[in-house]
Amino acid sequence: MRRHASVGGAAAQLWAVLWSVLCALPFLLIILLAFKSNTDIFTDPLGVVDIRWSPGNFAEAWNGPEGGQGFALYLVNSAIVTVVALVGCVLLGAFTAYFASLASPRVRTAIIRGFLVATTMPLVMLLIQYYSAFNTLSLLSSPWALGVLYAALCLPTCVLILHGFYLGFPAELREAAAIDGLGIVRTFVRVVLPLSRGPIVAVALVNGFFVWGETQLAIVLLQDPTSRTIPVGLLDFQGQFSADTGAIFAGLTLATIPLVVVYLVFNRAVAKGVALGGVFR
């Protein structure tokens, strides 16, 4: 029995390693091509010997072509959009999810069903309405306004995930806070939010990856070249660097690095949040 268990554990670990390698290979290939010249990319894309390395591709992608926009500007715009979206959806989502968990079963069911229906609405069906609203309000090419819109779009997912966590939140902690004289709102701010750090980080990561890579809305609502985010800017790179493929791969590498860094920094907090949620349940 133990032998079978050890063999099964080894097979599971081997599969996990193989899956990790398969997931990492595309990113490693992009990094490799980002350091190569155009000639080497097309003649020997997988080679690492007798290659003319071109680290200057990153400088070209960062600064952009002459008369065009570079990755530095796209990074700032993406950071603005992502920060605004995450702060808005996490704060409002946590607040909504917590007080929905305190409502009566009928009210709570109605709230959750409403957000659940909102998650099924295809984004492409709302493009015309969003464009008309942004155009009427003179908000086209505004990263701040797009961040607010992303916050509203991410709100249903945030509420649905955090609502399940708050349903199992220990009532004893709320009762202790009430004994100490804290009201409902102060209890939420001083007791509930600090203990929700793990689930909130997990929700922020899920929504952050969506906002960072979303293209449909950004390409329609960010028409000014100076307002574009990284995904839309990378599409421009295909035209700006049509004769410099290495710069395009360098831009793809620069666009992926922030996501990898954020995941490596916060993955433990996500795991702790999931475990804490399991205890509360």
Contact 30, 249 (CB under 8 A): yes
Q: Which 8-state DSSP code applies to residue 123?
A: G
pLDDT band at 188 (very low <50, low <70, confident <90, very high): confident
Partners of residue 53 on adjacent β-strands? 36
Separation of alpha carbons 224 and 91, rounded Å: 30
Residue that the structure tokens 């530095």 belong to: 72
Report for 76-90, 111-125, 169-183, 253-267: range of highest mean pLDDT: 76-90
In a domain, 38, yes or no: no
Q: Which residue has the higher pLDDT, 227 or 236?
A: 227
In a domain, 43, yes or no: no
In a domain, 196, yes or no: yes
In a domain, 153, yes or no: yes
Contact 130, 217 (CB under 8 A): yes
In a domain, 272, yes or no: yes
Specify the pLDDT at position 31. Answer: 86
Query: How many structural domains comprise the chain?
Result: 1
Cβ atoms within 10 A of the Cβ of 129, count?
Answer: 9
Which range marks the domain in which residue 185 is found?
65-280
Specify the pLDDT at position 92. Answer: 92
Q: Is the pLDDT of residue 280 over 50?
A: no
pLDDT band at 277 (very low <50, low <70, confident <90, very high): very low
Cβ atoms within 10 A of the Cβ of 52, count?
Answer: 10
pLDDT band at 239 (very low <50, low <70, confident <90, very high): low
In a domain, 3, yes or no: no
Separation of alpha carbons 244 and 242, rounded Å: 6
pTM for the structure as a whole: 0.82
Sign of CA dihedral 122, 125, 128, 132: negative
In a domain, 41, yes or no: no
Q: Is the pLDDT of residue 259 over 90?
A: no
Specify the pLDDT at position 281. Answer: 38
What's the CATH number where 70 sits?
1.10.3720.10
Q: Which 8-state DSSP code applies to residue 53?
A: B
Q: Is the pLDDT of residue 83 over 90?
A: yes
Specify the pLDDT at position 278. Answer: 42
In a domain, 182, yes or no: yes
Q: Is the pLDDT of residue 87 over 90?
A: yes
What's phi and psi for 53, nearest 5 deg? -75, 140
Specify the pLDDT at position 279. Answer: 40
Task: State mean pLDDT over 176-203.
Answer: 84
